């Protein structure tokens, strides 16, 4: 029989995982609570209200246009080998982190966390409030699309406010699905429309680490928020130039739709945005969107 300590560990593990297990979420939808948001100005005040997630346009810290401009400013400075199959990306990863330090004044890195497992830390510099510190990678699913198999023992499924799901797991069936969808949606044989290197320990885009950001504890406050944005594909006809991203930059983005028919909606991007100054060596801490009791 399991000991008391074993049961406590099992219960703790289940409580951390159940919010990502699709059948449990479906059964408990009636108990779902959406966090209360405030105005954008209050997000950037250290003593302001506790903020968890930003989805409404009027409450955003950054706009879709701001995200596009940020990506257009930093991603062209990143090196990309073209095709990453059978390529050791560690050297490119370090080169692109150096570009982050030069052009953004900060860089982030994954390493063992004091909270749980792997975490994300400020490796260099000081991150100002309102800065983008990472992107949540993975395959994007509509609420009606099957994700049961992917969700089993998977702590990296992120549920957006519009019920879209982003599977940020880099292993198993999740890995295979992302690789397949990414290869399917290439603009051309030598121009990828997404980045598969986040599936490795050394992503070519060092910002693609949002899945490793740990959730805050009872006695800690988050220093970043998730924000939902959309970017338009360069081939989109009826779209604004303010949200349309040039084709050569897409190869650095760590997201892809599971169903190619959804490409007409643009691409869902979830950046993590700092809500206060974050110092060098400090761990990045978030607060998950869905609170289910």
Write the pLDDT tens digit of every residue in 93-121.
Answer: 999 999 999 999 999 999 999 888 899 99
Residue 41 has pLDDT above 50, yes or no: no
Sequence-distant (≥ 6) Cβ neighbours of residue 128 within 8 angstroms: 274, 277
Query: 13-17, 44-48, 250-254: which has the highest mean pLDDT?
Result: 250-254
265: pLDDT confidence band, cut at 50, 70 and 90?
A: confident
Mean pLDDT within 188-205:
91
CA angle 203-207-213, nearest 5°? Answer: 100
For the segment 244-261, the average pLDDT, to the nearest whole number, is 91
For residue 68, count other CB atoms closer than 10 A to its CB.
23
| DSSP 3-state of 82 | coil
When pLDDT is cut at 50, 70 and 90, the band that residue 216 belongs to is confident
Considering the entire predicted model, what is its pTM? 0.81
pLDDT 10s digits, 69-100? 999 999 999 998 876 666 778 999 999 999 99
Query: What is the predicted pLDDT for the residue at 245?
Result: 82
* pLDDT given for residue 243 in this prediction: 67
Model pLDDT, residue 150: 80
pLDDT at 203: 95
Please say if the pLDDT value at position 194 is more than 80. yes
Q: What is the mean pLDDT of the chain?
A: 81
Q: What pLDDT is recorded for position 242? A: 64
- Specify the 3-state DSSP secondary structure of 34: coil
Report how far residue 177's alpha carbon sits from residue 145's, in angstroms, rounded to the nearest whole number: 13
Q: Report the C-alpha gap between 181 and 254 in whole angstroms.
A: 12
Q: How far is 186 from 18, CA to CA, in rounded Å?
A: 34
Residue that is written with structure tokens 């289910």 in the block:
292
Asked if residue 288 has pLDDT above 80, the reply is no
Q: Which pLDDT score, from 0 to 100, does residue 241 have?
A: 66
Q: What share of the chain is helix, strand, coil (3-state, %, to 5)?
A: 35, 20, 45
CA distance 99 to 205: 10
């Amino acid at each position: 029989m399991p000991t008391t300590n074993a049961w406590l560990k099992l219960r703790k593990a289940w409580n951390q995982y159940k919010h990502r297990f699709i059948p449990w979420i479906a059964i408990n939808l009636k108990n779902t609570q959406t966090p209360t948001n405030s105005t954008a100005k209050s997000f950037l005040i250290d003593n302001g209200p506790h903020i968890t997630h930003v989805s409404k346009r009027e409450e955003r810290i950054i706009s879709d246009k701001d995200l596009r401009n940020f990506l257009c400013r930093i991603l062209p400075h990143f090196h990309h080998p073209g095709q990453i199959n059978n390529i050791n990306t560690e050297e490119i990863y370090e080169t692109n982190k150096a570009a982050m330090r030069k052009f953004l004044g900060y860089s982030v890195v994954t390493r063992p966390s004091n909270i749980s497992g792997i975490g994300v830390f400020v490796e260099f510099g000081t991150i100002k409030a309102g800065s983008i510190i990472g992107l949540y990678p993975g395959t994007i699913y509509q609420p009606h699309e099957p994700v049961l198999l992917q969700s089993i023992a998977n702590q990296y499924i992120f549920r957006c406010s519009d019920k879209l799901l982003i599977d940020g797991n880099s292993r198993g069936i999740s890995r295979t699905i992302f690789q397949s969808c990414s290869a399917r949606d290439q603009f051309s044989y030598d121009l990828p429309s997404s980045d598969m290197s986040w599936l490795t320990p050394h992503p070519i885009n060092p910002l693609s680490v949002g899945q490793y950001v740990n959730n805050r504890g009872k006695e800690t406050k988050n220093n970043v928020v998730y924000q939902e944005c959309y970017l338009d594909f360069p081939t989109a006809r009826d779209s604004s130039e303010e949200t349309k991203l040039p084709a050569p930059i897409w190869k650095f983005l760590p997201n892809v739709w599971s169903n190619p028919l959804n490409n007409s909606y643009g691409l869902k991007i979830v950046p993590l945005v700092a809500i206060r100054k974050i110092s060098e060596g400090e761990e990045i801490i978030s607060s998950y969107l869905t609170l289910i009791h």
